């Protein structure tokens, strides 16, 4: 599936703006929690949509989305994704990856 007009997609400069900083199991609700940050590398204030895939023991178990609005050029903004999916057993190794990034200039 392609990106919408005006958006950058995974593999582009927009994906390089996104970094996952943590990927853990929430001990209270037994679900994955993904945190990260965006550093807007474009020359314009931008909106982002970020899709993250979560794997447990090398099998994809869920995906989640974050939306960030009006990120100034050169600015950092953090995000937290709490995907809705299967319970994650306490001894499970989680791996989170950025699956897709959409970026469009903000008005």
Sign of the CA dihedral 56, 59, 64, 68? positive
**pLDDT for the residue 2:** 38
| pLDDT at residue 58 tops 50 | yes
* Mean pLDDT across the chain: 87
Instruction: Assign 1 a pLDDT band (cuts: 50, 70, 90).
Output: very low
**pLDDT for the residue 105:** 94
Structure pTM?
0.84
pLDDT tens-digit readout, 5-55? 334 443 478 999 999 999 999 988 889 999 999 999 999 999 999 999 999
Note the CATH number of domain 13-105: 2.60.40.10
What span, in angstroms and rounded, lies between the C-alpha atoms of 18 and 46? 13
Q: Report CA Rg, the chain.
A: 14
Instruction: Assign 59 a pLDDT band (cuts: 50, 70, 90).
Output: confident
Domain boundaries, the chain: 13-105
**pLDDT for the residue 42:** 94
């Amino acid at each position: 599936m392609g990106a919408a007009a005006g958006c950058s997609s995974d593999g582009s400069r927009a994906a390089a703006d996104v970094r996952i900083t943590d990927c853990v199991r929430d001990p209270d609700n037994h679900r994955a929690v993904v945190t990260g940050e965006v550093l807007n590398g474009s020359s314009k204030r931008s909106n982002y949509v970020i899709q993250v895939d979560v794997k447990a023991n090398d099998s994809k178990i869920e995906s989640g989305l974050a939306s960030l609005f009006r990120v100034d050029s050169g600015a950092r903004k953090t995000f937290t994704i709490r995907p809705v999916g299967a319970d994650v057993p306490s001894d499970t190794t989680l791996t989170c990856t950025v699956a897709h990034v959409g970026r469009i200039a903000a008005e």
